[in-house]
Amino acid sequence: MPYTNRQLKLAVRPKDLITPDVLVLSESPIAPLEEGQALARVKYLSIDPTMRVWMADIPQYMPPVQIGDVMRAFGLAEIIESRHPDFKKGDKVSGLTGFQEYALITGKETRGFQKLPSIPFLSDINFLNILGINGMTAYFGLLDLAKPQSGETLVVSAAAGATGSIVGQLGKIHGCRVVGIAGTDEKCKWIKENLGFDAAINYKHPDWKAQLAAATPKGVDINFENVGGEVMQAVLDRMNLHGRVVLCGLISGYTKQDPGLASFGQVLIKRLRVEGFIIFDYVSRFMEAGQKLGMWKMTGKLESRETIVKGLEKAPDAINMLFRGDNIGKLIVEL
Ligand SMILES: NC(=O)c1ccc[n+]([C@@H]2O[C@H](COP(=O)([O-])OP(=O)(O)OC[C@H]3O[C@@H](n4cnc5c(N)ncnc54)[C@H](OP(=O)(O)O)[C@@H]3O)[C@@H](O)[C@H]2O)c1
């Protein structure tokens, strides 16, 4: 059956947030499948802050998306036709689908597409949050890099987001006092009342730094940093001697010149260990993390939440939602 693909391609590089000229919609027919190819209908797109980085022509951990390319994105899809030995019609897959309605998988270039296992207590969407990049990032960033000990104080920023909400819950599972920093009272209420954080601080309140001090009476042993800038500075000022700073993300600097830190001196004075990481370095251990995260989900120790936006044409502004703080939990575009 002939299909028409609708795709969002990078037309110009964004200067700040994504304006309507940055990603343009185009339509093209899909050629009949050749031997070794499979066609997948994309169902869900994962919206990630790093997309804004991928659009910029700056040194980064993957090549930037080139002008004219379909915008890179993770997604979930269902195989609708196959002449590929590894995939059959009806298989659900995850991988780099891109901002498009159909993804072609070829024998040579599978873009890491993997079949989703069918596990009764996990929804498809769980493979984009708890068992997706965000779950993996929370797991390895916190447990491998920071190695939390019972009784320690953990502070996580962007705490009601996809990664931060899992980090905080993992901190509780490991016996930490967990303090989350987020941008609305609704987010703070969710992480405290539903996810069991010990304290939640809205960094948009005028006295939030005093609240942070009150919420961390024994100082901070682990800072899981998702934001950077002023938020990170305030947490560094509360760090204990030999504390650990997991540099996961610096979203406050993705759309503008990185504000950096007013003073890097706390790292020296407090003898901190600051370590950046990129989750793709841990791919060979995803199975290990998946088993643990799946077990915590099954036993009710991990909760997740999604903000879902419908329609491919909404995908460009969905990226902006991350920078406006419009999402609670994982931000997803449903096609
Ligand atoms: N190292 C890795 O391999 C890796 C992998 C995945 C993600 N990350 C990073 O982890 C961080 C979180 O990613 P995510 O996918 O889980 O996104 P997310 O937390 O679900 O969404 C981003 C959140 O960041 C907050 N934010 C945006 N601009 C901000 C600013 N200027 N100051 C303070 N907070 C701001 C917003 O919440 P508020 O309402 O609270 O402001 C927003 O909801 C990002 O920095 C991302 O780049 C890193």
CA-wise closest residue to 23 among 34, 14, 36, 35: 14
Q: What is the pLDDT of residue 154?
A: 99
Q: What is the pLDDT of residue 264?
A: 83
Residue in 136, 163, 209, 309 to alter for ligand 1 test, most ligand atoms within 8 A of Cβ? 163
CA-proximal residue: ligand 1, atom 9 (nearest): 249
Q: For the chain, give the percent of residues with pLDDT over 70.
A: 98
Kindly report, residue by residue over 306-318, the tens digit of the pLDDT.
999 999 999 999 9
Amino acid sitting at position 34: E
CA-wise closest residue to 93 among 38, 137, 169: 38
Q: What is the pLDDT of residue 261?
A: 73
Average pLDDT, the chain: 95
CA distance linking residue 308 with residue 328, whole number of Å:
10
* Rounded (10°) angle between helices 229-236 and 208-215: 40
Please say if the pLDDT value at position 248 is more than 90. Answer: yes
Please say if the pLDDT value at position 259 is more than 80. Answer: no
Q: What is the pLDDT of residue 82?
A: 96
Q: Give yes or no for residue 37 CB within 6 A of ligand 1.
A: no
Q: What is the pLDDT of residue 109?
A: 65
pLDDT band at 257 (very low <50, low <70, confident <90, very high): confident
Beta-bridge partner residues of 76: 44, 94
pLDDT band at 107 (very low <50, low <70, confident <90, very high): confident
Evaluate whether 2 touches 81 at the Cβ level (below 8 Å).
Answer: no
Kindly report, residue by residue over 11-70, the tens digit of the pLDDT.
999 999 999 999 999 999 999 999 999 999 999 999 999 999 999 999 999 999 999 999
Please say if the pLDDT value at position 84 is more than 70. Answer: yes
Q: Residue 209 C-alpha to ligand 1 middle, in angstroms?
A: 20
Tokens 């730094």, residue located: 209
CA distance linking residue 162 with residue 332, whole number of Å:
10
Amino acid sitting at position 98: G
CA-proximal residue: ligand 1, atom 28 (nearest): 323
Kindly report, residue by residue over 160-174, the tens digit of the pLDDT.
999 999 999 999 999
Q: Give yes or no for residue 196 CB within 6 A of ligand 1.
A: no
β-strand 177-182 against 199-202: which pairing, if any? parallel
